[in-house]
Structure formats: C-alpha cells, structure tokens
C-alpha cells in the first residue's frame, strides 16, 4: 500500500442477508449521500458476502510472535493529512491481555489527523472486529479501529477517548470527517478496555454497532459502508497500546434450524 496521508430501543427482525437481535440507540440517520463510497447493488452485496466465505478472513492477531521494535508483519501504516507518520512498534508490556507483546502507537500530529495501521490483504463486507485498548499513565489516548477502508481518506472509524470517556463513530470521506454518532460511556475500572464494531443488515438497512467493555453504546444507520480493509487508528496527539485484535466476517445470526411450531 502506498504511503498515504491522510440512544430509542429497537427489537430484532429477520434480515434477508443476516439476522440480528438489535438492542441499542439509533444515534443518527443521515440522508442518502455518496460521500465518496458508492452504494452496492443487491447483486454486488451478495457477491461480496460469498467472497467472505474463506477461512483466511477469520483472523486473530496477538503479536506475541512478532519481533519487537518494528511494525507487525502484514500491517502497513498511513495518515490522513500532511503530518509525520505515527510510530507503530511491537513491544513488550507487563499487563498485556495476550502476553507478552502489544502494538504501541505514538502520534505527534500538530492538527487533527487520523493515523491508521491496516491489515494488508483483509477485505470485509460485514466486519466484526474487536481489540483491547490501553492508554499509558500520563499519556493522552484517543484511538480505536477502522473498517470499510477504501484508502487513507475514505474509511469508517470507532474511536474511544479514554480521558474524556467519549466514544465517536466517524466517516472519513475524501479526507473530510463526518460525525455519525457520539456517546458518553462509563468505562470499567480496568487497565485494558475492549472495543468491538459490527456491521449488520436489518431488512434493507445497514447498521454499524459499537460496543465498549461489552456494552452497546452506539448503533448508527449507514448505507455506504462496503467492502474494505480493517485496522487500528489513533487520533491527533495520542499514545495508545493495542492487543488481541480479532476480525471475522459476520454472515448471519439465523438459527441453524427452524423454531418448533406451537
């Protein structure tokens, strides 16, 4: 990859492409706009879902076998604006959820920028990704995961600011960030937090859901997220640690057999 600069509670319904029992807050519903990422036809969506039926897309990265001091194998870093690239390195950490290694990110942007570290070769139509996050004591930490990455200026991101306990879900389109959802969360009193992002289809609408420490905090409707890469992000001037990164394609929550008749 090139060096690139860059709350109403609902109920579950049967989806044509997947089933989800959805309980959460629909934060924002926006008009139908292009935002640089084109809508998919039903045929394209079905094709992309079939392409996900590959064992290679079920990925788990613990970074524990990676040499320390460099980028993790199979990842590439990028930036949304003309700023120095963040330092992303594998290093040891005594409290790593998956010991002994973590990925550390250090960004010194002078303006608001999005520094990303992308998993190469991983393309997901309906991603289900999760990661463990930690901000070192005394350091400002604002980061999370990216999904639906087309390039360094077109992607979606779930960001947790550990200092302010704010969660944001943004869409970056042609380098311009749009806030799709924001929420205040009560973070658990733990050293490492869990962030999870899923994309689901409900009837003819697509939703992206964000979970923090196992709690659904945002559910955002958006129709433009399509096939794309996944990875990590840090925002602005931040120091963050990442561990136990999981990425799987979310096919369906349909039961394996029909319910019995009553």
**Domain ranges within the chain, ordered by starting residue:** 26-49+59-92+101-249
Distance separating alpha carbons of residues 29 and 25, to the nearest angstrom:
11
Q: Is 167 exposed, middle or buried (0-12, 13-18, 19+ CB in 10 A)?
A: buried
The kind and range of the H/E element at 184 are strand 176-184
At residue 112, the pLDDT reads 87
Q: Degrees (nearest 5) of the Cα angle 159, 162, 168?
A: 25
Task: Give the three-class secondary structure for 261.
Answer: coil
Per-residue pLDDT of the chain (262 residues; tens, 9 = 90+): 434 443 333 333 333 333 333 333 333 334 333 334 445 566 766 665 555 544 467 899 999 999 999 999 999 999 888 888 999 999 999 999 999 999 999 999 888 899 999 999 888 988 999 999 999 876 677 999 999 999 888 999 999 998 899 999 999 999 899 999 999 999 989 999 999 999 988 777 888 999 999 999 999 988 787 889 999 999 999 999 999 999 998 764 444 344 444 3
At residue 201, the pLDDT reads 80
At residue 50, the pLDDT reads 57
Give the CA radius of gyration of the chain: 18
At residue 44, the pLDDT reads 65
Q: Is the dihedral of CA 59, 88, 227, 143 positive or negative?
A: positive
At residue 47, the pLDDT reads 63
The kind and range of the H/E element at 52 are none
At residue 48, the pLDDT reads 59
* Cβ neighbours, 10 Å, residue 106: 16
CATH architecture of 26-49+59-92+101-249: Sandwich (2.60)
At residue 244, the pLDDT reads 97
């Amino acid at each position: 990859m090139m060096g690139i600069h860059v709350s109403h509670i609902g109920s579950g319904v049967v989806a044509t492409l997947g089933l989800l029992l959805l309980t959460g807050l629909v934060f924002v519903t926006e008009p139908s706009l292009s935002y640089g990422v084109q809508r998919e036809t039903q045929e394209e969506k079905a094709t992309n879902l079939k392409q996900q039926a590959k064992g290679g897309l079920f990925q788990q990265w613990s970074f524990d076998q990676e040499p320390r001091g460099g980028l993790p194998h199979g990842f590439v870093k990028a930036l949304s604006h003309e700023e120095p690239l963040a330092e992303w390195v594998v290093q040891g950490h005594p409290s790593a959820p998956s010991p002994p290694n973590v990925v550390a990110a250090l960004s010194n942007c002078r303006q608001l920028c999005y520094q990303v570290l992308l998993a190469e070769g991983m393309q997901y139509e309906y991603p289900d990704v999760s990661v463990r996050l930690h901000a070192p004591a005394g350091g400002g930490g604002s980061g999370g995961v990216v999904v639906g990455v087309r390039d360094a200026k077109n992607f979606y991101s779930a960001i947790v600011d550990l200092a302010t306990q704010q969660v944001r879900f943004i869409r970056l389109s042609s380098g311009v960030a749009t806030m799709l959802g924001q929420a205040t969360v009560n973070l658990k009193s733990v050293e490492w937090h869990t962030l999870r992002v899923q994309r689901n289809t409900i009837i003819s609408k697509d939703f992206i859901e964000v979970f923090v420490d196992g709690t659904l905090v945002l559910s955002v409707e958006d129709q433009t997220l399509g096939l794309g890469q996944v990875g990590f992000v840090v925002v602005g001037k931040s120091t963050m640690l990442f561990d136990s990164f999981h990425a799987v394609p979310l096919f369906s929550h349909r039961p394996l057999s029909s319910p019995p008749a009553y």
